[in-house]
Structure 1
Amino acid sequence: MDTFLRLVQVPGPSWEERPIADVIKQEVASLGFQAHEDDVAEEIGGNSGNLIVNIPGNTPGAPSLLFAAHMDTVPLAVGVRPVVRDGVIVTDGTTALGGDNRAGVSEILEAVREVKEHNLPHGDLQLLFTVAEEGGLVGARALDPGLIHSDFAYAVDVFKANQIYTQGQHLLIDPPELDLTPEGVARAKQAAEHAPVIPPEHLRLDQNEKRILDFTTGAMQDIGLVPEFRRIEWAGTDAIALRRKGINAISLGAGENRPHSTEERMEIQDLVNSTRLVRSLIARAAASAAVGGPAGAALALVD
C-alpha cells in the first residue's frame, strides 16, 4: 500500500510523465535493476519515453513473462491527496485517485520486490511502463517490439484480479475497429465494470488462447482466486497494442474502481490480490520449468 500511496501523489498526466518516470526509475534501482528508457518521447510529442526493465532469470527453462502498466493518468488525477478509510483508499474529493494505473505500477513493483528480497525462483522477467496510454495506447503503439522477448505478457490494469475479459467466444480482445481517442479508451474501461459474466464452457479458444488462459487461471487458482469470465467489446488497455505487435498479451486485473472520476477508490485487498497474482504467475512459470520450459510449460500446466 505504501508504494501505491507514494505513486499516486506524483504527477504524470499523458505526455507529461517525466516526474513519475523518474520516480519509477528510482524504485527499480532500489531493487537492484535498471530501467532503460526508449526514444518514443520525441515521436509522440511527450517528455518521457517508455521504461523497460530486464530481469535475468535464475531458473533455466522457465517461461519468460512481461508485466506492463502505464505511467500516465488522466488530468483529473493531478494533485492527489489520498485518504485511507476502512480498508479503502479514496481522495479528498477534488481529484481522481490515479489508481488507473498507479495500481498496476505499484503491484508489479511490489511483486518483484518480494521475489528479489526472498530470492525466489523465476524465469526471465520484463517490466514495461508505458506513456500516454490514456491518450489512445500511444506509448505502447510506438514501442519497438524488438525490445520485447517474453513468452507471455500481461497489461496490469483496470479489473479485479480474478476477472478475465473476453470478446465474444474468444479470450484475446482485439476487434478490427477501435476508438483509440482518449474518450474511447475511457469508455472501454468504464464498460468493463458492467460487463456480463459468461460461463467458461461458452469459450471457443485456439491453441494460443488456451495456452495463456490455462497458465493464467492456474496462477489464480494457486492463490485461491476463482476465475471469472466477462464479455466486452474491448478492454481499453495496452494489451491491444502489444498483441498487434505480435506479443502474446492479455489484460490482468489491477483492482481499479470508478476510474477517471472523483469517486475513484481502491480497496486495499484488491491491491493485495493483484500483487499476489503477479507473484503467483512468476512462481508458476518457475515451477513449470521441469515440464518443458517456455515452449511446453503452459500446455503442461492444466489443472
Structure 2
Amino acid sequence: MSAADKLLNYVTFDTQSDENSETTPSTEKQRKLARALVKECQALGMDEVREKDGTVYATLEANTSEPRTPIGFVAHMDTASELSGANVKARRVERYDGGVIALNEQYAMDPATFPALKKVVGDDLIVTDGTTLLGADDKAGIAIIMQALEEIIRDDAPHGRIAVAFTPDEEIGRGVDHFDLSLFPVEYAYTVDGDRIDAVDYETFNAAQATVSIQGTSIHPGDAKDRMVNAALLAVEFASMLPEDQTPAKTEGREGFYHLVSMEGECESATLTYILREHDAEKFEKQIETIERVRDTLNEKYGDRIEVAVRRQYANMKDYMKGDMRAVERARKAIEKAGLEPVSIAVRGGTDGAMLTQRGLICPNLGTGSYNHHGRFEFASVQQMDRMVRIVRDIVEGE
C-alpha cells in the first residue's frame, strides 16, 4: 500500500470529536480507528504497542549500535466539527489539469478561490464528493507516518529508536491532555499535521476559549418597560464592544483575533463562545483582559448578569523551546535533501506539538501535502504525500 491508499482507508472511519463531551476520548468512535492502528503497528512488528486513554503508542527500537537520537512522530485521529466526517466518499482526480474540479452538482473547487490548487497542477489529487470534509487533517499525517515506518522496516534502514503516537481530540484542544510521556521515550518529536511539505513550523498562536454566560430577566413584553433585561440583546451588545478589526476575516500573518464561534440566546439567557488567538504572549494577555473589561462594563450598566470563563488551550511553542533548534534543523536538512527550500511560518493555529513543547518535549510541525482543511473543499496531493514520506524517512535516517 501507499500513503494515499492508507489515507483512503483511514477516512472511512468517522472520528469527529465533540467539545461538549466530558469523556476521554470525547467520542467512542475514535477508538475504532485507534484499534485499527494498534493492529497495523503490531503487524509491522513494532514494540510496546498499546492504546491508553484513546492515544495509540508504539515504538521501533534502534537497529544499529551507532549512537542515534531517539525521535518521535505524532498525528491526530479526530476530525473537525465544522462539517461531518461520516460516510466520506473520497475519489481521485488523476493528473490535475489546473482547472475547476466539480465535487458535485452544487460545489466545485476553483483555483481562483482556492489558490492551493495552483501548487499541485499535474499531481493526482484526493478530493471529497462535496458533502463531507475529507479528514486529511490529520489522517494524511497518520498515513505518512505509517507508510514511512513500513518502508523503514521493509528496507531495514538504519535508525535509532522511533516512537509514534496517534492522539484523539486534537481539534477540540484536548489532544495531549492525557498524553503519557513515559510511553514516548524520545528526545524530541514532530507533529505531521500541516499542509505545505517544505515547512517546519515552530511558532504557533497562544490560544484560549472564552465562554460568556448572560442572565436576562424575561417579562411579558406588554408590561416590560424598565423591567425586562433581554439577554440576547446583551449578547449583541457584548459582541459589538470587541475590536471589529480583530476577527479572522480581517487578520493575517502574526495578527491575532477574537473569533465568535457560536452565539445562542433568548430573552432569559444567552451564551457567546469565543476563541482568542495571538502569537505575542503580552498581546494575548491583553485579549483576555479586554474580554473581562467588557464584562465588567456591562455588569456595571445592567447589574451582575454576565460571567466569563476563560480556558487556556495551548501556548506558543517557540516560547518554550528555549533556543533548542535541533529538531528544526534536522527537519530542514531532510526538506533540503528532497529538493525543497525549507520555510518556517508563524502558524495561525496550533497542534498537539504546542502543548507537548510546553510540557518539555520539543515538537515542531511538518506538512502533509493536504490543504483546505476543515471543510468540503479539502484535498490531498498523492505526490506530495509520497515526498513527505521520503522526508520523514530522511529525518529518521539522516543523523
Range class of TM-score, shorter chain:
0.7 to 0.9
Q: Does 1:12 align with 2:41?
A: no
Residue 290 of structure 1 is matched in structure 2 by none
Residue 187 of structure 1 is matched in structure 2 by none
Residue 104 of structure 1 is matched in structure 2 by 141
Amino acid at match of 1:144: D
SS in 2 for 1:217: helix
Q: 2:386 aligns with which of 272, 277, 290?
A: 272
Q: Contact 1:235 / 1:251 at 8 angstroms: preserved in 2?
A: no
Q: Normalising by structure 1, report the TM-score.
A: 0.76
Q: 1:120 and 1:157, CA in 2 relative to 1: closer, same or farther beyond 3 A?
A: same
Question: How many angstroms does 1:195 deviate by?
Answer: 4.7
CA separation in 2, counterparts of 1:261 and 1:269?
A: 22
Q: 2:195 aligns with which of 139, 155, 159?
A: 159
Residue 208 of structure 2 is matched in structure 1 by 179
Which residues of 2 match residues 126-141 of structure 1 at below 5 A? 126-136=163-173, 138-141=174-177
Write 1 or 2 for the structure with the bigger share of helix: 1
Q: Does 1:58 align with 2:172?
A: no
Q: 1:211 and 1:33, CA in 2 relative to 1: closer, same or farther beyond 3 A?
A: closer
SS in 1 for 2:170: coil
Amino acid at match of 2:193: D
Please list the CA deviations of residues 66-94 of structure 1 after superposition, one character each: whole Å capped at 9, or x if unmatched: 00000111242221011101211001111
CA separation in 2, counterparts of 1:6 and 1:257?
A: 18
Which residues of 2 match residues 150-229 of structure 1 at below 5 A? 150-165=186-201, 172-173=202-203, 177-179=206-208, 195=253, 208-229=323-344
Question: How many angstroms does 1:274 deviate by?
Answer: 1.5
CA separation in 2, counterparts of 1:103 and 1:11?
A: 15
Residue 278 of structure 2 is matched in structure 1 by none
Question: How many angstroms does 1:159 deviate by?
Answer: 2.2
Q: Contact 1:135 / 1:180 at 8 angstroms: preserved in 2?
A: no
Amino acid at match of 1:179: A
Please list the CA deviations of residues 2-39 of structure 1 after superposition, one character each: whole Å capped at 9, or x if unmatched: 1111111112112230111111112212211252112x
Amino acid at match of 1:110: Q
Question: How many angstroms does 1:281 deviate by?
Answer: 0.4
Question: How many angstroms does 1:275 deviate by?
Answer: 1.1
Residue 371 of structure 2 is matched in structure 1 by 257
Residue 238 of structure 1 is matched in structure 2 by 352
The alignment's C-alpha RMSD in Å is 2.4
Question: How many angstroms does 1:277 deviate by?
Answer: 1.1
Q: Contact 1:103 / 1:271 at 8 angstroms: preserved in 2?
A: yes
Q: 1:115 aligns with which of 152, 163, 167?
A: 152
Residue 74 of structure 1 is matched in structure 2 by 80
Please list the CA deviations of residues 108-130 of structure 1 after superposition, one character each: whole Å capped at 9, or x if unmatched: 00000000011110100000000
Amino acid at match of 1:95: T
Please list the CA deviations of residues 212-236 of structure 1 after superposition, one character each: whole Å capped at 9, or x if unmatched: 222111111122221023234x541
Question: How many angstroms does 1:250 deviate by?
Answer: 0.6
Question: How many angstroms does 1:174 deviate by?
Answer: 5.4
Amino acid at match of 1:29: Q
Larger radius of gyration: 2
Q: 1:261 and 1:108, CA in 2 relative to 1: closer, same or farther beyond 3 A?
A: same
Residue 51 of structure 2 is matched in structure 1 by 37
Question: How many angstroms does 1:145 deviate by?
Answer: 2.3
CA separation in 1, counterparts of 2:80 and 2:158?
A: 37
5+ residue gaps, structure 1, are: 41-48, 166-171, 182-189, 197-202, 286-303
Q: Contact 2:200 / 2:342 at 8 angstroms: preserved in 1?
A: yes
Please list the CA deviations of residues 209-262 of structure 1 after superposition, one character each: whole Å capped at 9, or x if unmatched: 332222111111122221023234x54111111111110111111122011111
CA separation in 1, counterparts of 2:132 and 2:76?
A: 19
In the alignment of these two chains, the number of paired residues is: 251
Q: Normalising by structure 2, report the TM-score.
A: 0.59
CA separation in 2, counterparts of 1:180 and 1:29?
A: 38
SS in 2 for 1:62: coil
Residue 21 of structure 1 is matched in structure 2 by 34
SS in 2 for 1:230: coil
SS in 1 for 2:57: strand
Q: 1:36 and 1:180, CA in 2 relative to 1: closer, same or farther beyond 3 A?
A: farther
CA separation in 2, counterparts of 1:18 and 1:180?
A: 26
CA separation in 2, counterparts of 1:267 and 1:280?
A: 20
CA separation in 1, counterparts of 2:209 and 2:392?
A: 27
Q: 1:150 and 1:180, CA in 2 relative to 1: closer, same or farther beyond 3 A?
A: farther
Residue 295 of structure 1 is matched in structure 2 by none
Please list the CA deviations of residues 138-157 of structure 1 after superposition, one character each: whole Å capped at 9, or x if unmatched: 13132122222212200000
Amino acid at match of 1:103: A
